[in-house]
Amino acid sequence: MLKFVVRRLLLLIPVVIGVSIVSFSIMHMIPGDPARIIAGEGATIEDIMSIRTKYGLDRPLIEQYLRFMKGIITNDLRSIRTERPILTELLPRFANTAQLALVSIVISSVIGVTLGIVSAVKRNSWIDTFSMVFSLVGVSMPIFWLGILLIILFAVTLRWLPSGGKGGIEHLILPALTLGLATSAIIARMTRASMLEVLNQDYVRTVVAFGLPRRKVIYKYVLRNAMIPVVTVIGLQFGYLLGGAVLTESVFGWPGLGRFVVDSIFSRDYIAVQVGIMMIATSFVLVNLLVDLVYALIDPRLRRG
Amino acid sequence: MRRFLVLLLALLCVVSFAAKYGGTVRFLIGVDVTTLLPGNIPDSISTIVGMHIFEGLVDIDENLRIIPALAESWEILDNGTAYVFHLRRNVKFHDGADFNAYAVKKNFDYLFSANLRNAGQYKGIIKEVQVIDDYTVKIVLFAPNSSILYRLAQSTGWIVSPQAIEKYGSDPALMSKNPVGTGPFMFKEWKAGESVELVKNPNYWRQGLPYLDRIIFRVVAEDVSRVNQVRAGDADFMYNPPPALFAALQQDKSLKVEVVPTVRTIFIGLNTLRPPLSDVRVRQALNYAVDKEKLCRVLMKGLAKPSDSPLSSRTFGYYSTGGYPYNPERARQLLKEAGYENLKLELITPKGRYLNDYETAVAIQGMLKEVGVTVDVKPIEWGSYVSKILSRKPEDWDYQMFLLGWAPGTAEGHQVLFPLFHSSNRMDNPNATMAYNNSFYSNPKVDELIDKIAVETDEKKLLEYFKEAQKLVVQDAPWIFLYEMNIAAVMRKELQGVKIYPTERVSLAEAWIEH
């Protein structure tokens, strides 16, 4: 088991290097000169040139990349836009994103798995229809629009919750719910499908024939086996959420990583974009590792692998 | 009895006056502040936050006239090549350092020696800063300069504490996070991507100010969300609401909407390098074919005003040329004369950079269709857009029409005419100092007038040169002159005394909350 974890962690290195090369190339392939954008309206040519030399933007690409990698190792990279050390800039935002992602994945797992189980067990009942309509609406609704509607209802009209910003736990409710609804819809569909598949297995028929109580059959024999694909989906969704939910962050004024990376792309802040993307990639790989460990927890057969 | 009444009255005065004090204003901004080191500030949001912390020797008031700030008065010597400033006494920086002539000198020396981003605004203009005595400084120029006071009033001219320069000067990032000035508010905290908090400066030199205890600038990227936060009472102030929500906001009884014209003009630049746009008749025809009144009324919902000059009517030096009133008949006639009756042109535009930029381009596409000009509208992401239209490489100069905005930071006309219309600043001149003339405009008479404007210190003559230059530029029509932007601010009804400037600045120095 330990060997497995270590091997997976070592695999992180080539993944992150690969991601850095890809993001570096893309950022340099799109047109746009960071010096020009940073210098702003009315800047003189001299201003622009001095910014260019300062950040080594006039050097060959290979040299810029090597400089960048060296900066990562020695930890003295700075955002071009804000001139602050890049980790000081990104880590608090990543923490905010992680907080939001965690709460919304918990919300969506609870709602999604519950709805999925209920609708699989009570197949073709009104509750099944309701939850499948709910998940269809949930998947189709634009997050952006849902967020604004929730703000208008709960913050502007009813005044129950704050309309945005970061603060106490009450500030988390609306953005987490907005993000969670779409995700819970996906999880609900997955849970239902997976449960139905397991319910039709021979061994389930056997344990039912043995006369085991229905509740016990569902929770002990069906759910546990049905959980593997569901955990995969939850893990994937969590990974996406950790990459920052740009729209939700924008609508609720949540100071997360996604919005910052997007703003950095617009201002051609190569450094911030590259480090941000490497951070997102790393967290994605780590979440996948976590998912694999959870598999082993659920299914003893996988523990030996 | 009478004495009692007088006392009561006095008491009431004190109470109502005291009621002005206290409170926090939550001010919403669309993106985070980039830096609070004045010499590095590139954007208007950092300027709005910074102007509460810092002050310059002089300032610009709401009517864009120069007013004293840290300098009480000044004299112009040696034919306009030297400015002697008499400094205000008993002013202290937030860290306790004294404000005096040495602080001023140190500030400018730091700007040049650290080669901060905006140092170019004074390079080649300011020769040196001399200390005459403790409260007198002399700024020596290389040559007379008509815009030097306006330049000193910009964020780059704000005076930073000499102690702060000693402590953090070696690292711009540290300077940016530890802004120390003389302004009405002191820096407290900056949570990256989230908020900047300022608190009252109890020792501010303007007696009795500020009224507020605290300002929190909070980042909310989405404009609809910013509006909703103010409506919900979770914030007190925002600006640039989406025009579509404008009518609803004006009806909300808990809110107040203020509209102020700015120095920013929006225009469509015409690349005069190649036919058909090298023909002045075609350029004039395009101007006649666009109904600016309609654009402002229908599309901008009153948040813009038709312009008839490259300068906004608020910019110092503006002259009303009459411009090109909407006249599609005349447009068709001019096109016919020029021999272009079925013209095809491409219009590139940013999307979301300025209020309704893309929408304006599409509306113009329709208007030009009316006079037989087919326009292909192509939106481009801002970063790529800038590198295209401000490119110094000949292969990029194939664009025809481009939508752009311009706001002179100095609020005076030289910073419009010189970068955008002086032939020395054409993109194809490798020695350009402010290469923004991307319509490749050149007119020797206009060059001459701009050169005169740069050095003229007599206001009457100066305005005469400005007038002539604007008339010529409008006649030559290197742009389709569109409109001047207004800035709209939405605030809670209780918030009073907010000053909104045509330079897109907002000051809460004299603001208070009505109880």
Q: Which of B195, B225, B387 sits opposite A251 (nearest CB)?
A: B225
Which residues of chain A does B156 touch, with a Cβ-Cβ cutoff of 8 Å? none
A153 alpha-carbon distance from chain centroid: 26
Q: What DSSP assignment string belongs to A239-263?
A: HHHHT--HHHHHHHT---HHHHHHH
Residues comprising chain A, all counted: 305
Strand pairing class (B58-60; B24-29): unpaired
Q: Which pLDDT does position B15 carry in this prediction?
A: 53
User: Is residue B332 very low, low, confident or very high in pLDDT (cuts 50, 70, 90)?
Assistant: very high
Whether B44 has its CB under 8 Å from any CB of chain A: the answer is no
Q: Given this model, what pLDDT does residue A304 score?
A: 60
- Whether B257 contacts B275, CB under 8 Å: no
Residue type, A40: G
Q: Assess B130–A contact: CB distance below 8 Å, yes or no.
A: no
pLDDT of residue B494: 94
pLDDT at residue B490, rounded to an integer: 95
The length of chain B, given as a count of residues: 515
Supply the pLDDT for residue B348.
Answer: 96
CA B416 to chain centre: 11
Q: Is the pLDDT of residue B429 over 60?
A: yes
Q: How far apart are CA A103 and CA A147, in angstroms?
A: 16
Q: Nearest Cβ partner of A255 from B219, B231, B234?
A: B219
Q: Which residues of chain A neighbour B42 with C-beta distances below 8 Å? A: 38-40, 43
Count of H-run helices and E-run strands, chain A:
14, 0
Chain B contact probe: residue of A75, A83, A89, A97 with most B CBs at under 10 A: A83
A82, B35 Cβ separation under 8 angstroms: yes
Report CB contact under 8 Å: A251, B222.
Answer: yes
pLDDT digits (tens, 9 = 90+) for B26-57: 999 988 888 899 998 878 899 999 999 999 99
CB contact (8 A) between residue A37 and residue B435: no
> B173: which 2 tokens?
């990032």
Q: Is the separation of the CB atoms in A183 and A218 below 8 Å?
A: no
From residue B199, give the alpha-carbon distance in Å to each of B30, B203, B236, B435: 21, 12, 16, 41
Query: CB contact, 8 Å: B189 with chain A?
Result: no
- Binned at pLDDT 50, 70 and 90, residue A80 comes out as confident
By percentage, how much of chain A surpasses pLDDT 90?
16
> Residue B226: its pLDDT value, please?
92
Q: Check pLDDT > 80 for residue B85.
A: yes
The interface pTM score, or ipTM, of the predicted complex is 0.74
DSSP state, B395?
G
So what's the pLDDT on residue B11? 55
pLDDT in tens, B2-35: 666 565 555 555 555 557 898 999 999 988 888 8
Rounded Cα distance between A291 and B264, Å, is: 54
Please answer yes or no on whether B192 and A81 come within 8 Å at the CB atom: no
Among A30, A263, A265, the residue with its CB nearest the CB of B31 is A263
Q: What is the pLDDT of residue B171?
A: 84
Residues of chain A with C-beta less than 8 angstroms from the C-beta of B386: 32-33, 36-37
Q: Of B474, B486, B507, B465, whose CA–CA distance to B407 is shortest?
A: B486
| CB distance A46 to B121 below 8 Å | no
**Inter-chain residue contact A32 with B387, CB threshold 8 Å:** yes
Chain A residue numbers with beta carbons less than 8 Å from the beta carbon of B43 are 40
What is the pLDDT at residue A47? 75
Cα B332 to Cα B133, B285, B458, B476: the distances in Å are: 67, 7, 43, 18
Spatial CA neighbour of B321 closest among B473, B451, B439: B473
User: Which residues of chain A are within 8 Å of residue B485 when distances are taken between CB atoms?
Assistant: none
- B511: which residues sit within 8 A by CB, 6+ positions away? B25, B210, B211, B212, B495, B496, B497, B498, B499
Q: Which of A45, A82, A263 sits opposite B433 (nearest CB)?
A: A45
More confident residue, B193 or B140: B140
- Least-confidence region, from A190-194, A244-248, A272-276, B438-442: A244-248
Residue A264 has pLDDT above 90, yes or no: no
Neighbouring residues of B159: CB distance < 8 A, sequence distance ≥ 6:
B54, B55, B56, B57, B70, B99, B103, B104, B107, B181, B182
Nearest Cα residue to A105 out of A192, A196, A193, A175: A175
Cβ distance B383 to A32 less than 8 Å, yes or no, reads yes
Cross-chain Cβ contact B117/A38 below 8 Å: yes
Shortest alpha-carbon distance between residue A32 and chain B (Å): 4
A4-48 confidence digits (pLDDT tens): 888 888 888 898 889 888 888 888 887 777 787 777 666 777 778
Q: Which residue has the tokens 């709401």?
A: B62
Would you call A41 and B35 a contact, using CB atoms and an 8 Å cutoff? no
Angle, vertex CA B233, rays to CA B230 and CA B239, nearest 5: 15
* In chain B, % of residues over pLDDT 90: 73
DSSP annotation of A157 reads I
A162 contacts B232? CB cut-off 8 A: yes
> Do residue A156 and residue B384 have CB atoms under 8 angstroms apart?
no
Q: Which of residues 200-219 of B touch A (CB under 8 A)?
A: 218-219
* Chain B 226-245, residues with CB within 8 Å of chain A CB atoms: 226, 228-229, 231-234
Are the Cβ atoms of B35 and A83 closer than 8 angstroms? yes
Which pLDDT band, with edges at 50, 70 and 90, does A167 fall under? confident
| Mean pLDDT of the B412-416 span | 93
Which residues 125-154 of chain A have a CB within 8 Å of chain B?
A: 147-148, 151-152
A33:B387 CB<8 A: yes
Three-state DSSP at B487 gives strand
| pLDDT attached to residue B74 | 96
Give the H or E element holding residue A107.
helix A86-121
More confident residue, A11 or B266: B266
In angstroms, the CA A240 to CA A180 distance is: 12
- The answer, for A71 touching chain B at a CB cutoff of 8 Å, is no
What was the pLDDT predicted at B16? 54
Task: Report the residue of chain A nearest B118, measured CA to CA.
Answer: A47
Q: Which residue of A has its CA nearest to B411?
A: A42
- pTM for the predicted model, two decimal places: 0.82
| Angle (CA) B114 B116 B119, round 5° | 110
B298 close to A (CB below 8 A): no
pLDDT computed for residue B244 by the predictor: 80
**B190 → chain A, closest CA residue:** A89
For residue B186, the cross-strand partners are: B199
Q: Which of B28, B220, B265, B267 to mutate to test the interface with A (most CBs of A within 10 A)?
A: B220
CB contact under 8 A, B222 and A253: yes
Q: Return the number of other C-beta atoms located less than 10 Å from residue B423's C-beta.
A: 17
Chain A 8-47, residues with CB within 8 Å of chain B CB atoms: 30-33, 36-47
Q: What percent of chain A has a predicted confidence (pLDDT) above 70?
A: 98
By C-alpha distance, which of A235, A237, A245 is closest to A142?
A245
First to last CA, chain B: 30
- Please give, rounded to a whole number of angstroms, the shortest distance from the CA of A223 to a CA of chain B: 41
* Environment class of B251 (CB within 10 Å of its CB; exposed 0-12, middle 13-18, buried 19+): exposed
| Least confidently predicted of A40-54, A157-171, B438-452 | A40-54
For the ranges A268-277, B95-104, B274-283, B496-505, the lowest mean pLDDT is seen at A268-277
Rounded-to-integer distance, Cα A138 and Cα B227, Å:
26
Cα–Cα dist B199/B212, whole Å: 8
Task: List Cα–Cα distances, A29 to A24, A69, A71, A101, B134, in angstroms.
Answer: 9, 19, 21, 31, 55
**C-beta atoms of A42 and B415 within 8 A:** yes
Hey, which residues 411-450 in chain B have their CB within 8 Å of chain A? 415, 419, 432-436
User: Is B386's CB within 8 Å of A251's CB?
Assistant: no
pLDDT of B352: 81
Q: How confident is the model at residue B289 (pLDDT cuts 50, 70, 90)?
A: very high
What residues in B contact A84, CB-CB < 8 Å? 173, 176-177, 192
Interfacial A residues in 273-302 facing B (CB < 8 Å): none
**How confident is the prediction for chain B on average, in pLDDT?**
91
Among B192, B224, B390, beta carbon nearest to A36: B390
Helix (H) or strand (E) holding A127: helix A126-140
| Cβ-based contacts under 8 A for chains A and B | 155
Kindly list the residues from chain B whose CB atom is less than 8 angstroms away from the CB atom of residue A96: 193
| Residue A249 to residues A169, A253, A258, A274, B45, Cα–Cα distance (Å) | 16, 5, 8, 20, 20
In angstroms, the CA B118 to CA B153 distance is 13
Average pLDDT over residues B344-373: 94
Q: What is the pLDDT of residue A223?
A: 86
